[in-house]
Amino acid sequence: MNKTLLVIGFVWPEPNSSAAGGRMLQLISLFQAQGYAVTFSSPAMDSDFSIDFEALAIAKKTIALNCSSFDVYIKELQPSVILFDRFMMEEQFGWRVAEHCPAALRIIDTEDLHCLRKARQNACKEKRLFVLTDLFLEDVAKREIASILRCDLALIIAEYEMEILQTVFKIDASLLYYLPFLVPPIDAAAIQKTPSFEQRTGFIFIGNFLHEPNWNAVQYLKETIWPLLKKQFSQAVLQVYGAYPSQKVLQLHQPTSGFYVLGRAPNAQEVVQAARVVLAPLRFGAGQKGKLLEAMQCGTPSVTTTIGAESMCGYLPWNGFVTDDPDLFVTQAIRLYEDKFLWQQAQQNGFEINNKRYLKRFFEADFDAKIRFLIVNLAQHRSANFLGSVLRHHTLNSTKYMSKWIEAKNNGGLSTSL
Protein backbone atom coordinates (compact mmCIF):
# COMPACT_ATOMS: atom_id res chain seq x y z
CA MET A 1 0.00 0.00 0.00
CA ASN A 2 1.28 3.44 -0.99
CA LYS A 3 1.74 5.51 2.17
CA THR A 4 2.62 9.00 1.02
CA LEU A 5 1.25 12.16 2.62
CA LEU A 6 1.44 15.51 0.85
CA VAL A 7 0.73 18.50 3.06
CA ILE A 8 -0.20 21.69 1.23
CA GLY A 9 0.64 24.38 3.75
CA PHE A 10 -0.58 27.95 3.97
CA VAL A 11 2.81 28.84 5.50
CA TRP A 12 5.92 26.92 6.46
CA PRO A 13 5.36 25.62 10.02
CA GLU A 14 6.88 27.69 12.82
CA PRO A 15 6.05 25.89 16.09
CA ASN A 16 7.98 28.48 18.12
CA SER A 17 5.99 31.34 16.58
CA SER A 18 2.40 30.09 16.67
CA ALA A 19 0.15 27.31 17.90
CA ALA A 20 -0.72 26.58 14.26
CA GLY A 21 2.87 25.55 13.60
CA GLY A 22 2.87 23.21 16.57
CA ARG A 23 -0.48 21.78 15.54
CA MET A 24 0.84 20.96 12.07
CA LEU A 25 3.82 19.09 13.51
CA GLN A 26 1.46 17.10 15.74
CA LEU A 27 -0.60 16.04 12.70
CA ILE A 28 2.49 15.09 10.72
CA SER A 29 3.74 12.97 13.62
CA LEU A 30 0.47 10.99 13.58
CA PHE A 31 1.01 10.07 9.93
CA GLN A 32 4.69 9.32 10.41
CA ALA A 33 3.76 6.94 13.23
CA GLN A 34 1.49 5.16 10.72
CA GLY A 35 4.45 4.72 8.37
CA TYR A 36 3.75 7.55 5.95
CA ALA A 37 6.47 9.32 4.01
CA VAL A 38 5.66 13.01 4.37
CA THR A 39 6.25 15.91 1.99
CA PHE A 40 5.40 19.43 3.10
CA SER A 41 4.72 21.89 0.30
CA SER A 42 3.78 25.56 0.36
CA PRO A 43 3.60 28.57 -1.96
CA ALA A 44 4.74 30.82 0.92
CA MET A 45 8.09 32.53 1.12
CA ASP A 46 10.76 30.72 3.12
CA SER A 47 11.01 31.60 6.80
CA ASP A 48 14.09 31.73 9.01
CA PHE A 49 11.97 30.36 11.85
CA SER A 50 10.47 27.30 10.18
CA ILE A 51 11.23 23.74 11.27
CA ASP A 52 14.30 21.74 10.27
CA PHE A 53 12.62 19.54 7.67
CA GLU A 54 15.60 17.26 7.17
CA ALA A 55 16.01 16.58 10.88
CA LEU A 56 12.33 15.63 11.10
CA ALA A 57 12.50 13.38 8.01
CA ILE A 58 10.05 15.59 6.11
CA ALA A 59 10.62 16.36 2.44
CA LYS A 60 10.17 20.01 1.48
CA LYS A 61 8.74 21.33 -1.79
CA THR A 62 8.03 24.91 -2.84
CA ILE A 63 4.96 25.13 -5.08
CA ALA A 64 3.45 27.97 -7.07
CA LEU A 65 -0.08 29.34 -7.16
CA ASN A 66 -1.98 29.23 -10.47
CA CYS A 67 0.75 27.22 -12.16
CA SER A 68 0.56 23.89 -13.99
CA SER A 69 3.97 22.94 -12.55
CA PHE A 70 2.01 21.67 -9.54
CA ASP A 71 0.10 19.30 -11.85
CA VAL A 72 3.35 17.79 -13.09
CA TYR A 73 4.67 17.48 -9.54
CA ILE A 74 1.62 15.81 -8.03
CA LYS A 75 1.24 13.36 -10.92
CA GLU A 76 4.80 12.21 -10.28
CA LEU A 77 4.42 12.05 -6.49
CA GLN A 78 1.00 10.35 -6.53
CA PRO A 79 0.34 10.78 -2.79
CA SER A 80 -2.25 8.54 -1.17
CA VAL A 81 -3.33 11.26 1.27
CA ILE A 82 -3.49 15.04 0.82
CA LEU A 83 -3.70 17.32 3.86
CA PHE A 84 -4.82 20.90 3.12
CA ASP A 85 -3.66 23.41 5.73
CA ARG A 86 -6.78 25.60 6.01
CA PHE A 87 -9.50 26.14 3.43
CA MET A 88 -7.51 28.65 1.35
CA MET A 89 -5.14 25.90 0.23
CA GLU A 90 -8.02 23.61 -0.71
CA GLU A 91 -9.49 26.43 -2.80
CA GLN A 92 -6.21 26.94 -4.63
CA PHE A 93 -5.11 23.34 -5.15
CA GLY A 94 -8.13 21.13 -4.49
CA TRP A 95 -9.29 21.01 -8.10
CA ARG A 96 -5.79 20.09 -9.27
CA VAL A 97 -5.64 17.28 -6.69
CA ALA A 98 -9.08 16.02 -7.75
CA GLU A 99 -8.06 16.02 -11.42
CA HIS A 100 -4.63 14.42 -11.14
CA CYS A 101 -4.95 12.28 -7.96
CA PRO A 102 -8.65 11.42 -7.81
CA ALA A 103 -8.07 8.35 -5.61
CA ALA A 104 -6.14 10.25 -2.93
CA LEU A 105 -7.86 10.82 0.40
CA ARG A 106 -8.45 14.56 0.82
CA ILE A 107 -8.29 15.97 4.36
CA ILE A 108 -8.60 19.58 5.49
CA ASP A 109 -7.25 20.86 8.79
CA THR A 110 -9.38 23.90 9.55
CA GLU A 111 -7.05 25.13 12.38
CA ASP A 112 -10.10 27.03 13.61
CA LEU A 113 -13.35 28.11 11.97
CA HIS A 114 -12.32 31.28 10.18
CA CYS A 115 -15.95 32.33 9.69
CA LEU A 116 -16.58 32.11 13.44
CA ARG A 117 -13.49 34.17 14.21
CA LYS A 118 -14.40 36.77 11.57
CA ALA A 119 -18.03 37.08 12.67
CA ARG A 120 -16.97 37.53 16.28
CA GLN A 121 -14.39 40.11 15.25
CA ASN A 122 -17.02 42.13 13.39
CA ALA A 123 -19.39 41.96 16.36
CA CYS A 124 -16.60 43.15 18.66
CA LYS A 125 -15.73 46.09 16.42
CA GLU A 126 -19.40 47.03 16.15
CA LYS A 127 -19.75 46.76 19.96
CA ARG A 128 -22.58 44.26 19.89
CA LEU A 129 -23.11 40.69 20.99
CA PHE A 130 -22.24 37.92 18.56
CA VAL A 131 -25.13 35.63 17.56
CA LEU A 132 -24.87 32.44 15.52
CA THR A 133 -26.89 33.90 12.64
CA ASP A 134 -23.98 36.33 12.10
CA LEU A 135 -22.16 33.39 10.52
CA PHE A 136 -24.49 33.46 7.52
CA LEU A 137 -23.48 37.06 6.78
CA GLU A 138 -19.82 36.18 6.26
CA ASP A 139 -18.68 35.41 2.72
CA VAL A 140 -15.79 33.47 4.21
CA ALA A 141 -18.36 31.06 5.68
CA LYS A 142 -19.53 30.09 2.20
CA ARG A 143 -15.95 29.48 1.09
CA GLU A 144 -14.96 27.59 4.22
CA ILE A 145 -18.03 25.33 4.33
CA ALA A 146 -17.66 24.59 0.61
CA SER A 147 -14.06 23.48 1.18
CA ILE A 148 -15.07 21.22 4.05
CA LEU A 149 -17.77 19.61 1.90
CA ARG A 150 -15.39 19.07 -1.02
CA CYS A 151 -12.99 17.14 1.21
CA ASP A 152 -13.36 13.61 2.53
CA LEU A 153 -12.63 14.60 6.12
CA ALA A 154 -12.27 17.84 8.09
CA LEU A 155 -10.14 17.92 11.23
CA ILE A 156 -11.82 20.13 13.83
CA ILE A 157 -9.87 21.29 16.87
CA ALA A 158 -12.72 22.57 19.06
CA GLU A 159 -15.84 20.82 20.33
CA TYR A 160 -17.90 24.01 19.98
CA GLU A 161 -16.99 24.17 16.30
CA MET A 162 -18.01 20.53 15.83
CA GLU A 163 -21.39 21.54 17.24
CA ILE A 164 -21.71 24.60 14.98
CA LEU A 165 -20.82 22.67 11.84
CA GLN A 166 -23.44 20.00 12.54
CA THR A 167 -26.28 22.11 13.94
CA VAL A 168 -25.89 25.46 12.14
CA PHE A 169 -24.39 24.36 8.81
CA LYS A 170 -25.94 20.84 8.84
CA ILE A 171 -22.73 19.06 7.86
CA ASP A 172 -22.86 15.29 8.23
CA ALA A 173 -20.85 13.97 11.18
CA SER A 174 -19.07 11.46 8.89
CA LEU A 175 -17.18 14.38 7.30
CA LEU A 176 -15.93 15.77 10.62
CA TYR A 177 -13.31 14.51 13.05
CA TYR A 178 -12.57 16.08 16.42
CA LEU A 179 -8.82 16.26 16.97
CA PRO A 180 -7.55 18.71 19.61
CA PHE A 181 -3.96 19.61 20.41
CA LEU A 182 -1.89 16.47 21.02
CA VAL A 183 0.68 16.69 23.79
CA PRO A 184 2.72 14.46 26.13
CA PRO A 185 1.66 13.92 29.74
CA ILE A 186 2.88 16.13 32.55
CA ASP A 187 4.37 13.65 34.99
CA ALA A 188 5.70 14.03 38.54
CA ALA A 189 9.25 14.62 37.30
CA ALA A 190 8.12 17.49 35.06
CA ILE A 191 6.07 19.02 37.87
CA GLN A 192 9.09 18.81 40.18
CA LYS A 193 11.14 20.88 37.71
CA THR A 194 8.48 23.58 37.41
CA PRO A 195 9.45 26.84 39.13
CA SER A 196 7.62 27.47 42.39
CA PHE A 197 5.27 30.32 43.28
CA GLU A 198 8.13 32.17 45.00
CA GLN A 199 10.51 31.72 42.05
CA ARG A 200 8.15 33.46 39.64
CA THR A 201 7.35 37.10 39.11
CA GLY A 202 5.25 39.32 36.87
CA PHE A 203 2.35 38.90 34.48
CA ILE A 204 2.77 37.77 30.89
CA PHE A 205 0.95 37.73 27.55
CA ILE A 206 2.30 35.77 24.59
CA GLY A 207 0.94 35.39 21.06
CA ASN A 208 1.76 35.73 17.36
CA PHE A 209 0.91 39.28 16.21
CA LEU A 210 -0.01 38.17 12.70
CA HIS A 211 -3.11 36.77 14.41
CA GLU A 212 -5.64 39.59 14.82
CA PRO A 213 -7.20 38.33 18.11
CA ASN A 214 -3.78 38.62 19.77
CA TRP A 215 -3.21 42.18 18.63
CA ASN A 216 -6.71 43.15 19.78
CA ALA A 217 -6.13 41.50 23.17
CA VAL A 218 -2.92 43.47 23.71
CA GLN A 219 -4.67 46.71 22.79
CA TYR A 220 -7.40 45.87 25.30
CA LEU A 221 -4.77 45.06 27.92
CA LYS A 222 -3.00 48.37 27.38
CA GLU A 223 -6.06 50.61 27.18
CA THR A 224 -8.45 48.99 29.68
CA ILE A 225 -7.07 46.16 31.82
CA TRP A 226 -3.63 47.47 32.70
CA PRO A 227 -4.66 50.93 33.98
CA LEU A 228 -7.19 49.25 36.29
CA LEU A 229 -4.68 46.69 37.48
CA LYS A 230 -1.91 49.22 38.11
CA LYS A 231 -4.29 51.38 40.12
CA GLN A 232 -4.84 48.49 42.55
CA PHE A 233 -1.37 46.88 42.30
CA SER A 234 1.19 49.62 41.65
CA GLN A 235 4.24 47.33 41.47
CA ALA A 236 2.73 45.09 38.77
CA VAL A 237 4.79 44.36 35.65
CA LEU A 238 3.50 42.86 32.39
CA GLN A 239 5.75 41.37 29.71
CA VAL A 240 4.19 41.08 26.25
CA TYR A 241 5.87 38.62 23.91
CA GLY A 242 4.96 37.62 20.37
CA ALA A 243 6.41 36.92 16.95
CA TYR A 244 6.07 39.44 14.10
CA PRO A 245 5.18 42.56 16.09
CA SER A 246 4.41 45.58 13.90
CA GLN A 247 5.51 49.10 14.72
CA LYS A 248 2.09 49.87 16.20
CA VAL A 249 2.56 46.92 18.58
CA LEU A 250 6.05 48.04 19.60
CA GLN A 251 4.77 51.56 20.26
CA LEU A 252 2.76 50.20 23.20
CA HIS A 253 6.02 49.57 25.06
CA GLN A 254 5.90 51.76 28.20
CA PRO A 255 8.32 50.70 30.97
CA THR A 256 7.25 53.60 33.21
CA SER A 257 3.83 51.93 33.58
CA GLY A 258 5.29 48.43 33.85
CA PHE A 259 4.07 47.52 30.34
CA TYR A 260 6.90 45.87 28.37
CA VAL A 261 6.51 44.87 24.71
CA LEU A 262 9.44 42.54 24.02
CA GLY A 263 8.74 40.95 20.62
CA ARG A 264 9.63 37.35 19.83
CA ALA A 265 10.44 35.29 22.90
CA PRO A 266 13.88 33.61 22.81
CA ASN A 267 12.23 30.54 24.36
CA ALA A 268 8.46 30.67 24.87
CA GLN A 269 8.32 28.00 27.57
CA GLU A 270 11.08 29.61 29.58
CA VAL A 271 9.46 33.05 29.68
CA VAL A 272 6.02 31.62 30.50
CA GLN A 273 7.48 29.46 33.29
CA ALA A 274 9.25 32.49 34.74
CA ALA A 275 5.96 34.43 35.02
CA ARG A 276 3.46 33.96 37.81
CA VAL A 277 0.22 34.63 35.87
CA VAL A 278 -0.79 34.66 32.19
CA LEU A 279 -3.24 37.37 31.14
CA ALA A 280 -5.23 36.56 27.98
CA PRO A 281 -8.26 38.86 27.59
CA LEU A 282 -9.25 37.59 24.15
CA ARG A 283 -12.38 39.35 22.88
CA PHE A 284 -12.82 37.32 19.70
CA GLY A 285 -11.32 34.25 18.12
CA ALA A 286 -12.05 30.59 17.51
CA GLY A 287 -10.51 27.15 17.93
CA GLN A 288 -8.39 26.17 20.89
CA LYS A 289 -5.85 28.60 22.29
CA GLY A 290 -2.33 27.23 22.17
CA LYS A 291 -1.03 29.95 24.48
CA LEU A 292 -3.39 28.79 27.24
CA LEU A 293 -2.51 25.12 26.88
CA GLU A 294 1.15 26.12 26.91
CA ALA A 295 0.52 28.03 30.15
CA MET A 296 -0.91 24.86 31.70
CA GLN A 297 2.11 22.84 30.59
CA CYS A 298 4.39 25.47 32.13
CA GLY A 299 2.46 25.38 35.40
CA THR A 300 1.42 29.01 34.96
CA PRO A 301 -2.18 29.87 35.96
CA SER A 302 -4.13 32.19 33.68
CA VAL A 303 -6.96 34.68 33.63
CA THR A 304 -8.87 34.71 30.37
CA THR A 305 -12.29 35.30 28.79
CA THR A 306 -15.06 32.88 27.84
CA ILE A 307 -13.73 32.90 24.27
CA GLY A 308 -10.22 32.19 25.54
CA ALA A 309 -11.39 29.19 27.56
CA GLU A 310 -13.87 27.93 24.94
CA SER A 311 -13.55 24.20 24.20
CA MET A 312 -10.41 24.01 26.32
CA CYS A 313 -11.25 22.40 29.66
CA GLY A 314 -14.53 20.53 29.19
CA TYR A 315 -16.12 20.07 32.61
CA LEU A 316 -12.84 20.43 34.48
CA PRO A 317 -12.12 23.57 36.53
CA TRP A 318 -10.01 26.23 34.77
CA ASN A 319 -6.41 26.81 35.78
CA GLY A 320 -7.23 30.25 37.11
CA PHE A 321 -10.24 32.41 36.29
CA VAL A 322 -12.56 33.05 33.34
CA THR A 323 -14.46 36.33 33.05
CA ASP A 324 -15.47 38.92 30.47
CA ASP A 325 -15.84 41.76 32.96
CA PRO A 326 -12.71 43.98 33.05
CA ASP A 327 -13.04 44.91 36.74
CA LEU A 328 -13.48 41.27 37.77
CA PHE A 329 -10.64 40.28 35.42
CA VAL A 330 -8.31 42.62 37.30
CA THR A 331 -9.52 41.54 40.75
CA GLN A 332 -9.04 37.87 39.94
CA ALA A 333 -5.63 38.45 38.35
CA ILE A 334 -4.38 40.13 41.52
CA ARG A 335 -5.90 37.41 43.75
CA LEU A 336 -4.20 34.73 41.70
CA TYR A 337 -0.92 36.61 41.79
CA GLU A 338 -0.89 37.11 45.57
CA ASP A 339 -2.61 34.01 47.00
CA LYS A 340 -0.16 31.10 46.98
CA PHE A 341 -2.77 28.45 47.87
CA LEU A 342 -5.15 29.67 45.15
CA TRP A 343 -2.27 29.79 42.66
CA GLN A 344 -1.15 26.23 43.47
CA GLN A 345 -4.70 24.90 43.08
CA ALA A 346 -5.03 26.66 39.72
CA GLN A 347 -1.70 25.21 38.62
CA GLN A 348 -2.88 21.71 39.55
CA ASN A 349 -6.08 22.28 37.54
CA GLY A 350 -3.94 23.04 34.48
CA PHE A 351 -1.93 19.84 34.84
CA GLU A 352 -5.18 17.89 35.12
CA ILE A 353 -6.68 19.51 32.01
CA ASN A 354 -3.55 18.65 30.03
CA ASN A 355 -3.48 15.03 31.20
CA LYS A 356 -7.19 14.31 30.87
CA ARG A 357 -7.98 16.03 27.56
CA TYR A 358 -4.94 16.42 25.32
CA LEU A 359 -2.68 13.40 25.49
CA LYS A 360 -1.64 12.12 22.09
CA ARG A 361 -2.22 8.50 23.12
CA PHE A 362 -5.93 9.23 23.62
CA PHE A 363 -6.37 9.92 19.90
CA GLU A 364 -3.67 8.29 17.76
CA ALA A 365 -5.14 4.76 17.51
CA ASP A 366 -8.63 6.00 16.64
CA PHE A 367 -7.24 8.44 14.09
CA ASP A 368 -5.22 5.65 12.47
CA ALA A 369 -8.37 3.51 12.27
CA LYS A 370 -10.37 6.40 10.78
CA ILE A 371 -7.82 6.99 8.01
CA ARG A 372 -7.59 3.29 7.19
CA PHE A 373 -11.39 2.99 7.07
CA LEU A 374 -11.77 5.97 4.73
CA ILE A 375 -9.08 4.75 2.35
CA VAL A 376 -10.73 1.31 2.05
CA ASN A 377 -14.26 2.73 1.78
CA LEU A 378 -13.52 5.95 -0.12
CA ALA A 379 -15.90 5.40 -3.04
CA GLN A 380 -18.82 4.66 -0.74
CA HIS A 381 -17.91 7.56 1.56
CA ARG A 382 -17.88 10.00 -1.36
CA SER A 383 -21.12 8.72 -2.85
CA ALA A 384 -22.87 9.56 0.43
CA ASN A 385 -21.56 13.14 0.24
CA PHE A 386 -23.71 14.39 -2.63
CA LEU A 387 -23.28 18.09 -1.86
CA GLY A 388 -19.54 17.58 -1.88
CA SER A 389 -19.68 15.98 -5.33
CA VAL A 390 -21.80 18.89 -6.60
CA LEU A 391 -19.32 21.41 -5.29
CA ARG A 392 -16.37 19.47 -6.72
CA HIS A 393 -18.07 19.36 -10.11
CA HIS A 394 -18.63 23.12 -10.22
CA THR A 395 -15.18 23.87 -8.84
CA LEU A 396 -13.57 21.86 -11.63
CA ASN A 397 -15.58 23.91 -14.10
CA SER A 398 -15.06 27.36 -12.59
CA THR A 399 -12.01 27.66 -10.35
CA LYS A 400 -10.06 25.49 -12.78
CA TYR A 401 -10.52 27.84 -15.71
CA MET A 402 -10.05 30.97 -13.63
CA SER A 403 -6.72 29.57 -12.45
CA LYS A 404 -5.72 28.67 -15.99
CA TRP A 405 -6.66 32.19 -17.13
CA ILE A 406 -4.47 33.71 -14.39
CA GLU A 407 -1.60 31.41 -15.37
CA ALA A 408 -1.91 32.38 -19.01
CA LYS A 409 -2.07 36.06 -18.08
CA ASN A 410 1.02 35.73 -15.86
CA ASN A 411 2.87 34.05 -18.73
CA GLY A 412 2.04 36.92 -21.06
CA GLY A 413 -0.45 34.95 -23.13
CA LEU A 414 -3.39 37.26 -22.44
CA SER A 415 -3.97 40.98 -22.49
CA THR A 416 -3.94 42.57 -19.05
CA SER A 417 -7.13 44.46 -19.92
CA LEU A 418 -10.64 43.01 -20.11
Q: Are 317 and 293 in contact (CB under 8 A)?
A: no
Which residues have CB under 8 Å from 251's CB, separation 6+?
A: none
For residue 84, give the H/E element and its range: strand 81-85
Is the predicted pLDDT of residue 410 greater than 80, yes or no? Answer: no
Q: Which residue has the higher pLDDT, 16 or 175?
A: 175
Q: Are 11 and 42 in contact (CB under 8 A)?
A: yes
Query: Measured at the alpha carbon of residue 118, what is the angle toward residues 117 and 121, in degrees to the nearest 5?
Result: 85
CA distances from 386 to 80, 102, 147, 398 (A): 22, 16, 14, 18
CA atoms within 13 A on the CB side of 221: 32
The CATH number of domain 188-358, selected from 2.60.40.10, 3.30.420.40, 1.10.3210.10, 3.40.50.2000: 3.40.50.2000
Q: What distance in Å separates the CA atoms of residue 272 and residue 239, rounded to the nearest whole number?
A: 10
pLDDT digits (tens, 9 = 90+) for 227-242: 999 999 999 999 999 9
Instruction: Name which of 182, 126, 139, 173 is nearest 154 in CA terms.
Output: 173
- List the chain domain ranges: 4-182+361-410, 188-358
- Give the model's pLDDT for residue 395: 67
- Write the DSSP string, 159-182: HHHHHHHHHTS---GGGEEE----
Q: What is the CA radius of gyration of the chain?
A: 23
Q: Are 155 and 177 in contact (CB under 8 A)?
A: yes
Question: Are domains 4-182+361-410 and 188-358 of this chain identical in fold?
Answer: yes
Q: What distance in Å separates the CA atoms of residue 86 and residue 74, rounded to the nearest whole number?
A: 19
The CATH T-level fold of domain 4-182+361-410 is Rossmann fold (3.40.50)
Question: Span 267-279, mean pLDDT?
Answer: 97
Question: Span 202-224, mean pLDDT?
Answer: 97
Instruction: Name which of 220, 216, 274, 209 is nearest 242 in CA terms.
Output: 209
Band (pLDDT 50/70/90 cuts) for residue 400 is low
